[in-house]
Structure 1
Amino acid sequence: MTAGEMIETASRPIIIAHRGASGLRPEHTLAAYELAIDLGADFIEPDLVSTKDGVLIARHENEISSTTNVGEHPEFVNRKTTKLIDGQTVSGWFAEDFTLAEIKTLRAKERLPFRDRAFDGQFPIPTLQEIIDLAKRKSAETGRTIGIYPETKHPTFFDAIGLSLEEPLVEILHANGYNKADDRIFIQSFETTNLKQLDKMTNLPLIQLLSNTGKPYDLAITNDVRTYKDMTSPDELAKIAEYADGIGPDKRMIVPTDDNGILLQPTSLIQDAHAVGLLVHPYTFRNEAQYLAPDYNHDPEAEYEQFFNLGVDGLFTDFPGTAFGALQANDNFRFQI
């Protein structure tokens, strides 16, 4: 990281490409990640699950039929099954039942029906190592240090089936030279136990994700009464700061809405988190009208503007180009990449 680059990102919010430029390409593909970088993303976000042979790959869920063409492969028809994932019954095909070689025969497809399906069937499923290789290549090409923001998906479930995510994740990151607190890596999770484990395994920064509903699964199975919303109190944020470096809250925990989707007054979450030294990276920002409060008048940049001005340290977006444009338009953060 150059001195100029350090100033550039330290003085403005970071743009985190949520599953890549997932509003424009099938999510969690090298094509989506590369496009995100070209559009101005500072970090690319791979959600990680494990294959049967213990390789970390990028899929939002371990059930892969909604994001791949696995259902079109007759040789895998008998792999369809039903499992209990984090207390929920899920039917389909699961990454942990396939070797990496088998996963590589699949191709990604668009998950959401209202987004462009023109790229369905074109892109393979990437491994974490391939994503790291892409980030390093694009860093060299652009002169920017492209960060990686991996999330461990369903860590309690994967522990239970003997495919723990944390050890191979740390091993791969450390082997690629990512081992310091100021490296361009954030590791995130909706659970708490694995983040506390990771805190003892690596110096890399950790992010506690917070949903607007429910509670961490690892707390639920131990009858811990705390919900994600409980975890936003000043006392609970101080506890998070003992093992994590930041929080990734649902954006509605910062700017709530009423039953009609109309914006309410912002909460004190950003200020409370900053008070105990935690970064704040809310999710997820999207361009489509169904994801925008009516107050924004169908203008996604108005939403970014509000959150930038509220003081977020970064945000997750499906459309990093739009986020970059909004950041450039904000008088407080004019810069060049």
Structure 2
Amino acid sequence: MKKSLVAGIACLSLSLSSAAPWAVLAAPHQTVATDNGQSTLQPITSDVAVIAHRGASAYGPEHTLAAYKEAIKMKADYVEFDLQMTKDGQLIAMHDETLARTTNAKELYPDRAPWRVKDFTMDEIKRLDAGSWFNAAYPELAKKEYIGQHVPTLDEAIQFVKKHGNGKVGLYMETKAPDVYPGMEEKLIEILQKNKVLDSKNLFLESFSEDSLRKLKTLAPNVKLIQLYTGAMLKGKDVYQEFKRVADYASGIGPSKELVVPKFMEAAHQNQLLVHPWTVNSQDDLASLLSLGVDGEFTNNPDKMVELTDKPFISHGVASGDVTDTSAILWARTNDAANVQFEISTDSSFKEPFIVKTVHAEAENDFAVKAKMDGLKPDTTYFYRAHAVSSSYTVNGSFKTAPAENSLKPLTMVWGGDTGGQGEIPPYNSFKAMSALNPDFFLFSGDTIYADNKTPAVPNPPSQSVQDFWAKYKENRTDAGLRSLLQKTATFSIWDDHEVTNDFSGPSQPLTPTGLRAFEDYWPISNERSSADKLYHTYSWGNTLDMMILNNRGYRAPNTQADGADKTMLGGEQLEWLKKQLLESDAKIKLVATSVPISVPTGKANARDGWANGNQVNPNDPTGYENEFKKISDFIVEKGIKNVFFVTTDVHFAQVIKYDANHDGKTDYHELISGPIGAVKINPGTLDPTFSPESMYAEGNFFNFGVFKVDPTTNKATVEIRDENGKIHFNYDFQLED
């Protein structure tokens, strides 16, 4: 059996820069485990099972002794047998109810179509060749020894695995079509007893038929049973109730692999049901399901899974981020301590010269690693790959560097946020739709997790330990669409409140150091941004766009403080930095990435979380941060700074707003809001009137994301709001001012 994928105990410490305004709140040294103990997204067994599906059926003819031998050589934990019954009541190992696909029955018995197993005696089946078909179908894997392989009886299969597996390889058997074969269950138990394996701890019996499993339970009360599922079997059912019911007779469930998502895992593991998905063959899929905490996997390629369970591997994909014209940050995570090698090249085959860097993954950062790649060429697509040095499993990604300084190049950016809130957890369709657009980069505009909400990763919220926070990031990374997007393009990540707790103010929230630490661990953030935990920085796309990423959380005064000249969200230093960036930018577009909106009142009355005080709701509310934003607004107007766009998410609906802050009839700047990707959906309300907003578009109650395109040749910026399936709900071309 393979070792547990749950990491061991490590002694960690929280170390934060003294320059951060909350540094005094850093926690003392403590001994902790890298996995969150309450998470349902981790195995409930100490050993994750490698189940050779029909034997090592990617390498030899399925359900032959040759395929079973290959599985044993590859160190599979279990060999799986599908069972059919012959005309004379013998159990054989075969998947199909007919002999046609995997034997030469058509040639040997041409007049006996449709060649159903139940119509043939054991002696007749023994004359068949069950291996030559494999050589014809897969000539690159053909072997002479496969010619003439016979169909094994269940007795033969058990005895072969016992002998060649030295008693260490388990048996996994499925009653196929038990309604076609009356008495199959009794015959199976009889054979298991005869071969002295009925009481083996390494025996599982499986079926899609609940009746068959319940019959087996009656015949052998202590046997471990697995209820198999197709998607159709679970359609319309509450998995929590279904698995509670199934736990009455089964030890586990065997779902089709696409069914396995966090809620599925939670429902199973809360009922102490093992999860063994089928049939998982690519190493990407094997690794993905291991990241969800499955307890075993059926695979035609047991060698690929054995490698993953034996050695550290890249467990949650890779990412690139904070890309400039000459550099990028690469990110990966392993499931245990390991050296991680990053390679980067302009050639997707990596035949051309490329850069190699090796970084050590340690428990202190939950085995997440980053590597900065310098000396890159502007406006160039780069391919990269990462692997734990001890493993051959490699994960690939790509990104495009920014254009050279002063150049004007087109740009496509996608943005969004709000993932994992109010029970809306993976899978997320929006990330797939974003990825399909092949954007130049992705701006993750905050609430990249909901640390304070109940999810399978943290069933008992709010997140308290760094392990809880890490678990939340890993949970979202189980989403195939998000991994695809992160591996396809660069990401610029912003934190907002739910990376710590709802509507928090950094300096006054004790959990800020913990939430910040996890955020920095799980995103490819540059040292320029993470230094002193400042997080704000400007990134340029040639002369087309300057993107000014704000830190709206780390320096703010408490939300409950009355607004006034001394109340700040950004802090004095960041505010002056923003003004300087706006004034000195000669880019066509000044994009201010802010995690909170300007005129949509957020938070609660008397504790406004965004800039607006919501005086259209409560004219006596003294809170908000309008005095500070007025300084920004006045600066833009007085300095005549053109083509300013504030981009955010946060409010769980989409809206595009233009502002005439000085009431001169001309638009001074715009605000672009999208979301949510995966959180509660609400409808837009009335805007706070302070800065004279005018809504150009507002729509709620749907999952959505934003697209921002710039075409320097036409001097236009295009904004789109798309739903989770990629359908455009809003499209507008802004004519840029010279």
- Aligned pair partner of 1:151 in 164, 168, 174: 174
Q: Deviations over 1:17-65 (max 9, x none)?
A: 0000101111000000110110111000110001111110011012110
Q: Secondary structure at the match of 1:78?
A: coil
- Aligned pair partner of 2:94 in 53, 56, 59: 59
Contact 1:327/1:333, CA 8 A, preserved across alignment:
no
| Residue 168 in structure 1 maps to residue 187 in structure 2 | yes
| Residue 210 in structure 1 maps to residue 236 in structure 2 | no
Match of 1:223 in 2: none
Structure number with bigger Rg: 2
Alignment size in residue pairs: 272
Distance 1:158 1:148, change over 3 A: same
Q: Deviations over 1:312-335 (max 9, x none)?
A: 00000001111111222336589x
- Aligned pair partner of 1:99 in 86, 109, 121: 121
Question: TM-score with structure 1 length normalisation?
Answer: 0.75
- Aligned pair partner of 2:272 in 274, 277, 293: 277
| Residue 189 in structure 1 maps to residue 207 in structure 2 | yes
| Residue 201 in structure 1 maps to residue 219 in structure 2 | yes
Match of 1:221 in 2: none
AA aligned to 1:279 is L
Give, in whole Å, the separation in 1 of the partners of 2:123 and 2:212: 28
- Aligned pair partner of 1:125 in 151, 161, 164: 151
Match of 2:684 in 1: none
AA aligned to 1:199 is K
Unpaired stretches in structure 2, ≥5 consecutive residues? 6-44, 314-334, 338-738
Give, in whole Å, the separation in 2 of the partners of 1:64 and 1:242: 36
Contact 1:69/1:121, CA 8 A, preserved across alignment:
no
Give the deviation of 1:94 after TM superposition: 1.0
Q: Secondary structure at the match of 1:77?
A: coil
Q: Deviations over 1:267-295 (max 9, x none)?
A: 41112101011100000012xxxxxxxxx
- Aligned pair partner of 1:26 in 34, 38, 61: 61
Distance 1:155 1:302, change over 3 A: same
AA aligned to 2:159 is D
Match of 2:417 in 1: none
Q: Secondary structure at the match of 2:203?
A: coil
- Aligned pair partner of 2:257 in 248, 251, 255: 251
Q: Deviations over 1:162-219 (max 9, x none)?
A: xx21011011112222233x62111000111111111111121000000123xxxxxx
Give the deviation of 1:11 after TM superposition: 2.5
- Aligned pair partner of 2:248 in 238, 242, 261: 242
Contact 1:42/1:147, CA 8 A, preserved across alignment:
yes
Contact 1:151/1:188, CA 8 A, preserved across alignment:
yes
Give, in whole Å, the separation in 2 of the partners of 1:12 and 1:152: 25
AA aligned to 1:281 is H
Contact 1:207/1:247, CA 8 A, preserved across alignment:
yes
AA aligned to 2:256 is D
AA aligned to 2:228 is L
Give, in whole Å, the separation in 2 of the partners of 1:168 and 1:12: 30
Give the deviation of 1:231 after TM superposition: 5.2
AA aligned to 2:87 is K
Distance 1:330 1:309, change over 3 A: farther
Give, in whole Å, the separation in 2 of the partners of 1:204 and 1:169: 12
Give, in whole Å, the separation in 2 of the partners of 1:248 and 1:228: 12
Give the deviation of 1:98 after TM superposition: 1.1
Match of 2:52 in 1: 17
Match of 2:37 in 1: none
Identical aligned pairs, as a percentage? 38
Distance 1:310 1:113, change over 3 A: farther
Give the deviation of 1:8 after TM superposition: 7.0
Match of 2:301 in 1: 319
- Provide the alpha-carbon RMSD of the alignment: 2.3
Match of 1:77 in 2: 110
Give, in whole Å, the separation in 1 of the partners of 2:118 and 2:134: 20
Give, in whole Å, the separation in 1 of the partners of 2:188 and 2:138: 31
The structure where helix makes up a greater share of residues is 1
AA aligned to 1:170 is I
Give, in whole Å, the separation in 2 of the partners of 1:55 and 1:111: 25
- Aligned pair partner of 2:164 in 118, 138, 146: 138
Question: TM-score with structure 2 length normalisation?
Answer: 0.35
AA aligned to 2:142 is A
| Residue 108 in structure 1 maps to residue 130 in structure 2 | yes
Give, in whole Å, the separation in 1 of the partners of 2:263 and 2:276: 14
Give, in whole Å, the separation in 2 of the partners of 1:113 and 1:234: 45
Match of 1:222 in 2: none
Give, in whole Å, the separation in 2 of the partners of 1:318 and 1:325: 14
Q: Secondary structure at the match of 1:61?
A: coil
Contact 1:305/1:330, CA 8 A, preserved across alignment:
no
Give the deviation of 1:114 after TM superposition: 5.6
Higher relative contact order (CA 8 A, sep 6+): 1
Distance 1:327 1:253, change over 3 A: same
Give, in whole Å, the separation in 1 of the partners of 2:110 and 2:102: 16
Q: Secondary structure at the match of 2:52?
A: strand
Distance 1:165 1:112, change over 3 A: farther
Q: Secondary structure at the match of 2:110?
A: helix
Give, in whole Å, the separation in 2 of the partners of 1:101 and 1:27: 20
AA aligned to 2:208 is F
Give, in whole Å, the separation in 2 of the partners of 1:328 and 1:232: 35
